[in-house]
Amino acid sequence: MQLRYSFRLYPDTGQLRALAKAFGCARVVFNDAVRAREDARKAKQPFPTAGQLSRRLITEAKRTPERSWLGEVSAVVLQQSLRDAETAYRNFFASLKGTRKGARIGPPRCKSRKDARQSIRFTANARWSITRSGRLNLPKIGAVKVQWSRTLPSTPTSVTVIKDAAGRFFASFVIDTDPAADQARMPETDRTIGIDLGLTHFAVLSDGTKIDSPRFLRRAEKKLKKAQQELSRKQKGSRNRAKARLKVARAHAKVTDARREFHHQLSTKLISENQGIAVEELSVAGLARTRLAKSVHDAGWASFISMLEYKAQRYGRTLVTIGRFTPTSRTCSTCGVVDGPKPLNVRKWTCAACGVVHDRDVNAAINVKTAAGLAVTACGAQVRPGRVPAQCDEAGSHGFPSKDCVA
């Protein structure tokens, strides 16, 4: 299983210039590849292959006065930029054919030096290394200081250097882990749980536990509003505007990091304590078009469920998702009678058939668990077969954009 481990980088002044040069060269090669494909399409000619693009845009371009500066960065960075362009076109055509899951995506566009996020990737043949002093030695960049928050379980296969909108640098390592060793870290248990996600409480468990919603964005709204107002009053193109934009980006990054840390801590706790977990599929895109949009985005349900998915696969747990149209809030968890629809302000209701008084959220969590059919025998064997495949998602703890995820 492949995971990502991300660590904060602190490059010095010379390394900042080298990284900026590498980001720029990778961006130019990517844009040249997009233009070459677009020119071929307009001329109704076959798309140039990856080998042809590599020879024309990298090898031959280095010999020209206009692109001679491409030789000042690692060739692996340029090759990986071409691979990114190939992947972007492959995903675009798969989306057109309907073989790619998710919403329709458009064709690749040219990158801008003003993009919020920039990255370069070094594979094993780039001969990057970790020095004895704990620095990350990158070709034609130097030994960059790393803030190690944990040890790497094995030798990384590649490293991606990322610059985010807040001006922070990170190194994201791809690690191959042993599934048996990961599953041995969390012994099997006979506990199962159902989760009802909401806004009043972030999560309500079928055992009655209620987890409050931190509402990180709501708590930071005053600070964000002030920073955004200062940005709007700065002259476009000025240095003061650039400083104000960075201040806004850092405020948003702090909110994002805090939310991600909360999701990681809660998802790890649930995975470690329960052998089976049931959640309800949520239409986040639909809810984001309502008056609750800001609160829905602040909760970050999709990110939390994604963490549950890959951690369940990593540690040998079972995660079951039930349909979004299952009437969990209207069904009595005691007798199974389906009552009528209830407005959101109704938090408790009495079953007309059996007379049991239900807490709306706890009752829904119990019904989620029941609908999922989770059960564990006395010997610990899982009755419901299979685990939900994990999706790739870079996620991480506070101060880091990505922790350990399926790559």
For 229-299, strand residue ranges (E) read 276-280
Model pLDDT for residues 305-320, shown as the tens digit of each residue: 999 999 999 999 999 9
Contact 258, 266 (CB under 8 A): no
Of the candidates 41, 33, 91, the one whose C-alpha atom is nearest the C-alpha of residue 57 is 33
Q: What is the set of domains in the chain, with CATH numbers?
A: 2-177 (no CATH), 185-214+259-372 (3.30.420)
Catalytic-residue membership of 86: no
Q: Kindly state the average pLDDT of the residues 211-231.
A: 95
Higher pLDDT, 403 or 311: 311
**Least confident span in 87-96, 293-302, 394-403:** 394-403
Model pTM score: 0.85
Q: Give the three-state DSSP class for 208.
A: coil
> Cβ-count burial of 369 within 10 angstroms (0-12 exposed, 13-18 middle, 19+ buried)?
buried
Length of the chain: 407
Model pLDDT for residues 332-345, shown as the tens digit of each residue: 988 888 888 888 88
Catalytic-residue membership of 39: no
Of the candidates 117, 14, 129, the one whose C-alpha atom is nearest the C-alpha of residue 402 is 117
Question: Which one is catalytic: 280, 298, 394, 404?
Answer: 280
What rounded mean pLDDT belongs to the chain? 88
Give the C-alpha separation, 30 to 36, whole Å: 10
Contact 312, 277 (CB under 8 A): yes
SS3 track for 16-68: HHHHHHHHHHHHHHHHHHHHHHHHHHHCCCCCCCHHHHHHHHHHCHHHCCCCH
Question: Which one is catalytic: 32, 84, 261, 361?
Answer: 361
Catalytic-residue membership of 394: no
Question: Which one is catalytic: 32, 84, 182, 196?
Answer: 196
DSSP notation for 111-128: --TT-S-EEEEEEGGG--
